Amino acid sequence: MAVNLARTTASTELLKQIFHNIDAHSCPRLFNFHMHTVYSDGRLQPSGLMEQAIAIGLKGLAITDHHGIIGYQAALAWLEDWKWNNPGASTPHLWSGVEINANLLDIEVHILAYAFGTEHPSMKPYLQRRATTGQEYQASNVIAAIHEAGGLAVLAHPARYKRSHFDLIPAAADKGIDGVESFYAYNNPSPWQPSIVESEQVQKLADEYFLFNTCGTDTHGLSLLQRL
């Protein structure tokens, strides 16, 4: 367990350094921290997703299936095999990830968890391939569970909910969230690019509340360069 904890800590510290430097140009060709496979509501197999990540030249990524890590585990196994067969090739860093439904200010939001220990008991309720209820559904408890497992918690697409990001981000910060998905394409443009107005507003709030900025395509289709 001590070895796993040390590995999780190192992985989390590396991710913090990257989040410190994320900007509007980081996604989708350098990093991508939001994508789905066939193991939730995406269309990509984990192997196909990793092949694309390598072809694009991604430096780092996280698969964030809803309430499950089967896709991440399959992708990690595929990547280890690929590294073995391609010695010396540069490979992207794959962090653990999951997207969790939670209650914040009496509406449902999505919280992205990254770089957590996948075997940690605090995460077990959130990896059952379905949303939780009761106390486990409260944002403060979701965030606490992610932190207990050594991970980072990020509010996904903050400007896409029934309540304003001007309300939600301060509330999430108050409950201990680490970051916000600042760079997100709300209108699914082609080519992918973050929505300018929302990104600027979210970044300002991130600065005000000392939160990390992250980016992701929220891929559900067959291309890591688009959302759908």
159-213 pLDDT, tens per residue?
999 999 999 999 999 999 999 999 999 999 999 999 999 999 999 999 999 999 9
Q: For residue 194, is the peptide bond before it cis, meaning its omega torsion is within 30 degrees of 0?
A: no
Residue type, 180: V
Evaluate if residue 6 carries a pLDDT over 90: no
Residue (of 144, 130, 126, 225) closest to 185 by Cα position: 225
| pTM metric for this prediction | 0.97
Once rounded to an integer, what is the mean pLDDT over residues 84-105? 97
Once rounded to an integer, what is the mean pLDDT over residues 92-101? 98
The answer to whether the beta carbons of residues 148 and 179 sit under 8 Å apart is no
C-alpha 137/C-alpha 88 separation (Å) is 44
Average pLDDT over the chain reads 96
